[in-house]
Amino acid sequence: MKTVLVTGSAGFIGYHVSKKLLERGDTVIGFDNFNAYYDAQLKENRNNMLEEQKNFTVIRGDLENVQDLEKAFQLLGSGPDTRICHLAAQAGVRHSIENPQEFIQSNIVGFGNIIELTKKNNIGGLIYASTSSVYGDNKEAPFSESHRTDAQVSLYGMTKKANELMAHTYSHLFGLPTTGLRFFTVYGPWGRPDMAMWIFTKAILAGQPIDVFNHGKMRRDFTFVDDIVEGVIRTNDTIPMARPMAADADDSQTAAPYRVYNIGNNQPVELMHLIEILEAALGRTAVKNMLPMQLGDVPATFADIEALQRDVGFRPSTPIEEGVRKFVDWYRRYHAL
């Protein structure tokens, strides 16, 4: 059993990860600021369910405030059986274009505080959320960890790439084991209201039009949240070690105890097909408002998951039809529809 500090524990992925850790007997210290980027009551509802567990404690605070974080680290302790699962961040590609300072403070300054306290407190390992957005407008598919990630097209992606660079520096200089997880379009029960699955479902049920960007020619590697959680848990249990480099190693590899993995469904779905699946699950037809590509967006994402499967023995596998059905069932229950 481990003691794990989960930042963003009241968030979508953070809630599910915390729940899974508690179910298997780990002790979880949650950390969240419950901000109003989206419905704060949804976050409170997630947190209330976690607080029903005896091995869960939550600290309310900001990543930018070192004193807030130190309270959580004091509860965590130190040693090889402690972990940081850093899932807190300011999210939203389009939100980052209009509010860059929020992202710099939360995602860069906040991450700097987390990784410095992880080193200072002799924590067993740091697992942190990155994103498929670090690939920018990558033309190669599927996206591999060996591909270039130095041509960002969103401020959000830039802040997450900065996290990966900072993590490598700490792994190289101080031997701190770090694992970055590039999530691909996560969806599922208790999801975020600012994401397409929730936005489309709400609008379709209300008979309101949905905005379909790039005239529906977007393709996304939609990944069900249970698959994301399984990937997080397995990498949490598999701390990277320093390793010698082969002569033919590519530029993405390093001798430091540092790893980065894609976690995606490895099966991109066209946006129009997703809408069709949603329509079938809801028993309603969507009114579609066809629009051009949005600033900061990319036409397609597609995860190469060979490294994840090789190192931790897992590959996401939930079919989009099954995942959408589970989300819609939860959405109806949550809103008493």
End-to-end CA distance of the chain: 40
Cis preceding-peptide flag for 142 (omega within 30 of 0): yes
CB-based contact 275:286 (threshold 8 Å)? yes
Beta sheet of 258-263, edge-to-edge order = 56-60, 27-32, 3-7, 82-86, 126-131, 178-183, 258-263
Catalytic annotation, pick one of 37, 156, 170, 261: 156
103-to-63, 88, 155, 156 alpha-carbon distances in Å: 11, 11, 8, 7
Q: Is 334 a catalytic residue?
A: no
Cβ atoms < 10 Å from Cβ of 182:
24
Nearest-CA neighbor of 14 among 49, 66, 39? Answer: 49
CB-based contact 242:323 (threshold 8 Å)? no
Which SS3 state, helix, strand or coil, does residue 60 take?
strand
The helix or strand, by DSSP H or E, that contains position 75, with its residue range, turns out to be: helix 66-76
DSSP strand E in 174-253: where? 178-183, 186-187, 209-212, 219-220, 223-224
CB-based contact 134:161 (threshold 8 Å)? yes
* Residues known to be catalytic: 156
